[in-house]
Structure 1
Amino acid sequence: MNKLKDWQVMMMSAGMILVLIGVGCYFFHQWAAYVVYGVGVLMFVPMQLLQRYEGSNFILRRLRRMQIISDVLFLLTGMLMYLNGKFILNMYIRNEWMLALTVATILQLYTAFRIPVELDKDK
């Protein structure tokens, strides 16, 4: 995996903090929550996409694909949160953003614990 520079790591961490704040604010201030969440995701996802794996280990390539899927789900969560907060397509979109966020979080947690183990085995 490519190592990120210090400012990229800080931007990625700040993005995840904004994501947590955005999700927490959703129940109190919907108008601000999806903005804060969106900014956080737009800080986090590009930094995570910069971490590439160019090796030949199949397990690490699969875990990297899972991370990319979770990044797409984080972006989808922001869109669904916006549509739900603005009552656009309210007949069809309720709280599906919570499901997308849950799946993305589970994938992120799984890959966060598995990738370092596989990198140690690969060395």
Structure 2
Amino acid sequence: MKQLNKLQSIIYLLGGIIMVAGAGFYAFLLIQPIACWLMLVGSIAFALMQSRQRYFGTSLTIRRLCKIMSLAGCGFILAGFFMVEDSYHFLRPLFAGSLDSYDSYVNIFHHNWVILLLISAIIEMYTTHRISYELKKESEVQEPKKS
């Protein structure tokens, strides 16, 4: 895996911290109008820096896991967008034509950022551990142990 440089690593770490802080503040009803933007900005920074880590090897498993990890990054960003929509209701006028469309709006956006965040976090944890395991296994194959 291509390692991030020092600045990219700092942005990656800060993005993750800001994303978690924003989600925590929002979930515990603290400064929600600001927390949703923190979540969105943090998730964008986290996902962009994560996408900068490239795998140049030949293992199809690691390539597949990296693609799945990028899906989790998109899920984090989408959860941030849903959180912003849950706070500011930017799209509500588009659905306000009838009771059925408003019901659809509530079913789509109302607190569903939690589900997206949970699914993305589980995928992120799984792929992180599997990639680490696969890279370790790959390095052991390349450097056989001397007896």
Q: Name the TM tier (shorter chain).
A: over 0.9
Q: Counterparts of 1:100 and 1:114 in 2: how far apart (Å)?
A: 21
Q: Which residue of 1 aligns with 2:106?
A: 91
Q: Which residue of 1 aligns with 2:121?
A: 105
1:51 to 50, 53, 76: 53
How far apart are residue 42 of structure 1 and its match? Answer: 2.2
Q: Counterparts of 1:42 and 1:101 in 2: how far apart (Å)?
A: 13
TM-score (norm 1): 0.93
**2:72 is aligned with 1:70:** yes
Q: Counterparts of 2:137 and 2:60 in 1: how far apart (Å)?
A: 13
Aligned residues: 123
How far apart are residue 72 of structure 1 and its match? Answer: 0.6
TM-score (norm 2): 0.79
Unaligned runs of 5+ in 2: 93-104, 140-147
Q: Which residue of 2 aligns with 1:23?
A: 23
- Of 100-109 and 2-11, deviating more is 2-11
Q: CA RMSD in A?
A: 1.3
Q: Which residue of 2 aligns with 1:40?
A: 42
Unaligned runs of 5+ in 1: none
Structure having the higher Rg: 2
The amino acid that maps onto 1:91 is V
> Secondary structure of 2:41's partner?
helix
How far apart are residue 54 of structure 1 and its match? Answer: 2.2
How far apart are residue 105 of structure 1 and its match? Answer: 0.3
How far apart are residue 28 of structure 1 and its match? Answer: 1.8
